[in-house]
Amino acid sequence: MNVRNFADLKSLLLENKTVKQTIFKNTFWLGVSEGVTRLLGLILIIYVARILGATEYGKFTFALAFVSLFAVFSNFGLISITTRELSRNKEREKEFPAIFTLKILLSIGALILMLIGSFFATSDSAIREIVWILAVYILINGFLEIVYAFLRARQQMQYEAWAKILRATIVTGAGLFVILNFPSVRNLSYGYLFASLTVLIFVLLFFHFRIFSLRLSFKKSTWKRFLAMSWPLGFVIIFATIYHQIDSVMLGYLGQITETGWYNAAYRIANAALIPSVFIFQGFYPVLSTAFKESKERMQKIWNYRTGITTLIAIPLVVAGLVLAPRIIDLVYGPSFSPSILAFQILIIMTGIMFFMGPCSQILVVSNQQKKYFWIAGSGAIVNIILNLILIPKYSLYGAAIATLITFFLMFILFLVSTAKFTSIKPLNLKVFLFFLSAVLSSIPMYFVISHPLIYGLNILFSISVGATIYLIFLFILNKVFKLKLI
């Protein structure tokens, strides 16, 4: 991947040539888009939380969590299956109009469920109105996802990246304008809605005229075939949404609106830490899907590459998060959100576990083992609901965080076992172990450095920079010792 001039750079970032170059291109664009999107979203949420306070912010996050529970019915696994099927056979692109039409019908059904469910979720008419506004907003984002699925199948992630950056910029700009000039949860919700609607119109027009002509198709045979493949993933998404959102819904339903604000403040930062995991997942998905048809050896190499990157990022991230949690919460939200510190420390461990779950869950889908994914996710949802019912009344937001941590740990064990048993991948191999060992050994000196009072008391960005430098130095040394090579 030598870059000698602008033409080489354009080829590197916009064309698909070799496996490594394609992975780099996909990862680069998804990394840029996820980084910009999450950063802008985090900036907006920081202002929202600081200006509105924990209670009003809690109302907003409760409404958003509630509509997210029902929004999954507008997806039902279609996004991942569309990417997988279209990436394996370009001829299937002719079925996309039927898939797009099915997406519209599913979204209408999901909207009806949201409107009906809002009357049971809260007796507060103001919160119910926020639920209705955000219901439309979140379904609009769902339409963007089906377009992204098509682009991922063609491995044209640059278009997805540009669309996501555009959406994040407009939504953040509109949100900041509203929250600084007309501060209220209701106005903020309308700002989200109109900004996303503007982006949707632009993206659909661009897609229609530049990528693929959009039209409606009521081909029921295509609907049946894709739903037959996607329903296990559909339920997986439902289950995943349960253990991601049910805690906020339960906190709000029990009247702990302020606690919902504190909890979601911590969750937002922990979720932002997943940015690398998200674009690694998306960048490798079409490549692994293609490798599945070629050879077991090739797929194992790519999977090791993916897991190695994941490991080297996850472990130092968790260690730094645990040590610097008080500084992070104080910097981002201020002293009034100090109850969020312990919740964040618990959730950052959960984030690390999610990093390690990613390679295993992804390879199950690639290997056509989505039904195994279904059972694991279903088990996680049931465990999470039970734990939340037990722990939230006793420990409030900390009970919700502990329930989430235990749920993901149990799911990780099940994913690991299923990967070894039902796919050709050997998850516990020497190469993965050496990367894990290198990450742990490199994180130890980083821990002692950033926890030392002289470094801990400095500006947090400087503390993070020092810690990252120490980690990378030791990682470089261990790389020479173990002679590590991703592929």
Residue 1 lies in a domain: no
User: Once rounded to an integer, what is the mean pLDDT over residues 101-129?
Assistant: 87
Beta strands in 173-303 (DSSP E): none
The residue among 122, 126, 241, 145 whose CA lies nearest residue 189 is: 126
Q: Which pLDDT score is estimated for 118?
A: 86
d(CA 152, CA 68): 23
Residue 321 lies in a domain: yes
CB atoms within 10 A of CB 268: 22
8 pLDDT higher than 60 = no
22 pLDDT higher than 50 = yes
Query: Nearest-5° angle of CA 397, CA 402, CA 408?
Result: 130
- Structural domain for 80, as ranges: 16-428
CB 150 within 8 A of CB 212: yes
Q: State the residue for tokens 């959100």.
A: 337
Residue 487 lies in a domain: no
CB atoms within 10 A of CB 460: 17
122 by DSSP, 3-state: which?
Answer: coil
Going by the DSSP 8-state scheme, the letter that residue 415 receives in this structure is H
d(CA 11, CA 423): 35
d(CA 473, CA 467): 10
d(CA 274, CA 48): 21
487 pLDDT higher than 50 = no
User: Once rounded to an integer, what is the mean pLDDT over residues 7-32?
Assistant: 65
CB 313 within 8 A of CB 276: yes
Domain count across the chain: 1
Q: How far does Cα 214 stand from its chain's mean position?
A: 27
CB 342 within 8 A of CB 263: no
Q: Which pLDDT score is estimated for 242?
A: 81
Token pair for 223: 């609907």
Token pair for 247: 């805690």
CB 84 within 8 A of CB 289: yes
Share of the chain above pLDDT 70, in %: 93
User: Once rounded to an integer, what is the mean pLDDT over residues 350-366?
Assistant: 89
Q: How far does Cα 204 stand from its chain's mean position?
A: 23
User: Once rounded to an integer, what is the mean pLDDT over residues 363-369?
Assistant: 84
Residue 10 lies in a domain: no
Residue 130 lies in a domain: yes
462 by DSSP, 3-state: which?
Answer: helix
User: Once rounded to an integer, what is the mean pLDDT over residues 183-189?
Assistant: 89
Residue 446 lies in a domain: no
Q: What is the chain's length?
A: 487
Token pair for 207: 């897609």
CB 64 within 8 A of CB 276: no
Band the pLDDT of 486: cuts 50, 70, 90. very low
Token pair for 185: 């949860």
Band the pLDDT of 23: cuts 50, 70, 90. low
User: Once rounded to an integer, what is the mean pLDDT over residues 390-414?
Assistant: 94
d(CA 66, CA 68): 5
Q: Which pLDDT score is estimated for 19?
A: 61
What is the rounded average pLDDT for all residues in the chain?
Answer: 85
User: Once rounded to an integer, what is the mean pLDDT over residues 42-50?
Assistant: 85
350 pLDDT higher than 90 = yes
User: Once rounded to an integer, what is the mean pLDDT over residues 400-416?
Assistant: 94
Element (H, E) at 280: helix 275-294
5 pLDDT higher than 70 = no
User: Once rounded to an integer, what is the mean pLDDT over residues 264-278?
Assistant: 85
Band the pLDDT of 344: cuts 50, 70, 90. very high
d(CA 272, CA 482): 32
Residue 219 lies in a domain: yes
Band the pLDDT of 365: cuts 50, 70, 90. confident
CB atoms within 10 A of CB 481: 10
Q: Of 31-35, 69-73, 260-264, 365-369, which range is least confident?
A: 31-35
Q: Angle, to 10 degrees, between the axis of helix 275-294 and the axis of helix 19-71?
A: 120
User: Once rounded to an integer, what is the mean pLDDT over residues 84-110?
Assistant: 85
Token pair for 263: 């909890």
Q: Which pLDDT score is estimated for 13?
A: 60
Residue type (1 letter), 283: G
pLDDT digits (tens, 9 = 90+) for 415-441: 999 999 988 888 888 888 888 999 999
Token pair for 250: 């339960």
Q: State the residue for tokens 């502990």.
A: 402
Q: Which pLDDT score is estimated for 401?
A: 94
d(CA 248, CA 232): 25
Q: Which pLDDT score is estimated for 217?
A: 87
Q: Which pLDDT score is estimated for 477?
A: 87
Selected residue with higher pLDDT from 71 and 386? 386
Q: Which pLDDT score is estimated for 16?
A: 58
Q: Which pLDDT score is estimated for 445?
A: 94
Residue 474 lies in a domain: no
User: Once rounded to an integer, what is the mean pLDDT over residues 109-122?
Assistant: 86
Q: Of 16-20, 169-173, 318-322, which range is least confident?
A: 16-20
User: Once rounded to an integer, what is the mean pLDDT over residues 164-177?
Assistant: 89
